[in-house]
Structure 1
Amino acid sequence: MTVLDMREVSGGYSTKEDTIHEITLSVKEGEWLGLLGPNGAGKSTIIKALLDLLPVKRGEITLPGPEEYAFIPEHPIFFEDLTLWEHIDFMRAVTGLDEEETTERAEYLLKLFRLTKVRNHYPTAFSKGMQQKLMIILALTAKPKLYIIDEPFIGLDPKAMKDLLRELEAERERGACVLMSTHVLDTAEKICDRFVLVNYGTIIAEGTLDDIRRESGVDGSLLDCFDELMTEEEL
């Protein structure tokens, strides 16, 4: 079953010029889709369009209800006057999650990501990596149908990266799906089922790794294929 669907979505930050052009993509139950491209390719803009944060957009977007998807942003967003645990409590209250189940899940994730000792501290005093872990814990605690993740690995230590990937894989096994934007192609190649490669706000290739290899004419890694496709675009 398709959980997320974008059809011919174009738009930008003003009416004068589009930043993304006729973007069409979908994510099915249990699937991990990698939204890939260099810095400035339009990945974050596509996510803003999905979340209805892009001022000007056209096309059709189908998402589950707000309580059924979670967004992990590239730059952590939090309330300055709430502690880490108060963020979890606030999320639970807004989404209507069961208190006992939420507490048990959150306690497990705090221990996994080594934040138990700072549960009553304010995130303003955290490092970038710790703030990112808070965003991850909030999303994973909610157990939504869909995870929308923008550059999740920035600021994370190797153990936290591995723990995040393991938890998301477990979520996929229960049927959740993931849309992940990243420019870390070697990691994406190992974990994603399909890929959408973007440059200058336009999709330049999509499909499985075998599809991308056929389209690029390169029988190599995802990075090799992307490099070839980028070179063709510049010629």
Structure 2
Amino acid sequence: MLKIANVTKSYNKGEIKAVNNINLDIKPGEIFGFLGPNGAGKTTTIKMIVGLLKPDNGSIKVGGVDVWKESIKAKSMISYVPDNPEIYDKLKGIEYINFIADMYEIPKEKRKEKMNYYLEMFNIKDAIGDIIGSYSHGMKQKLVLTSALISEPELFILDEPMVGLDPKSSFNLKEVMRKMCEEGKTVFFSTHVLEVAEKICDRIAIISKGEIIAMGTMEELRSHSKEKKSLENIFLELTE
């Protein structure tokens, strides 16, 4: 579903290599965790996948579609929730969701059904008529998640999705992620909450200083350690 081949991204005329020749091949039906310390290249990689940053070299394909050669077609298969959502504070919540739904050309009956489902799930239905500028950080995160999910994306990309969510909403989001993968869709997410990644990910990649230093299932990652360690211990051992 997502194939990244020999992708590199540099800044300052090549002086800073944020991502250095990485390769990932993520299949339909996977929850894939993308982990790394601050500044390791996680967000840069995600921004290249969704078409916000152009790689210096290499290719990125979503469902066989090149993200840069056929950008609209590729983006139609993706929903993206960034680590710090920038949304329109002067719009009402319902206006924002309809704006996103219009971009994805979601029929009105279908959007209404999906909207109600996720607004109930994230417990923000009562606030949907309010101006977004009045929302807390957590409410904005729930609004962005709702707008991202109503398109039923083939590839759901999240950067630190649990930040600002209450425990029930976090639980519900994890359930949604698993259900999507049972339907053959793909979830790619970055997180610092390693316990969550350990519990729900089918496979995990660890990036450090722009390079993939480990990748595989939890059992495969543990095989690189002398002891059967937790993901947290493996992560610290590999990134020190």
Q: Secondary structure at the match of 1:147?
A: strand
Q: Secondary structure at the match of 1:166?
A: helix
Out of 147, 168, 174, which is 2:183 matched to? 174
| Bigger share in helix | 1
**Paired position in structure 1 for 2:4:** 6
**Paired position in structure 2 for 1:22:** 21
Q: Distance in 2 between matches of 1:122 and 1:202?
A: 42
Q: Percent identity?
A: 37
CA distances 1:17-74 after superposition (whole Å, capped 9, x unpaired): 2211111112211101100112222111111121232255211110242111100111
TM-score (norm 2): 0.91
**Contact kept in structure 1, 2:31 and 2:177, CA below 8 Å:** no
| Unmatched tracts of structure 2, length 5 or more | 64-73
- Does 1:96 pair with 2:105? yes
> Deviation above 4 Å: which 4+ runs of structure 1?
none
RMSD: 1.4
Inter-CA distance 194–41: structure 2 relative to 1 (3 Å threshold): same
CA distances 1:185-207 after superposition (whole Å, capped 9, x unpaired): 11100000000001111111001
**Contact kept in structure 2, 1:15 and 1:56, CA below 8 Å:** no
TM-score (norm 1): 0.93
**Paired position in structure 2 for 1:110:** 119
| Unmatched tracts of structure 1, length 5 or more | none
**Paired position in structure 2 for 1:138:** 147
**Paired position in structure 1 for 2:235:** 226
**Paired position in structure 2 for 1:44:** 43
Q: Distance in 2 between matches of 1:217 and 1:55?
A: 39
Q: Secondary structure at the match of 1:92?
A: helix
Q: Distance in 1 between matches of 2:32 and 2:6?
A: 18
Q: Secondary structure at the match of 1:52?
A: coil
Equivalent residues, number:
229
**Contact kept in structure 1, 2:78 and 2:157, CA below 8 Å:** yes
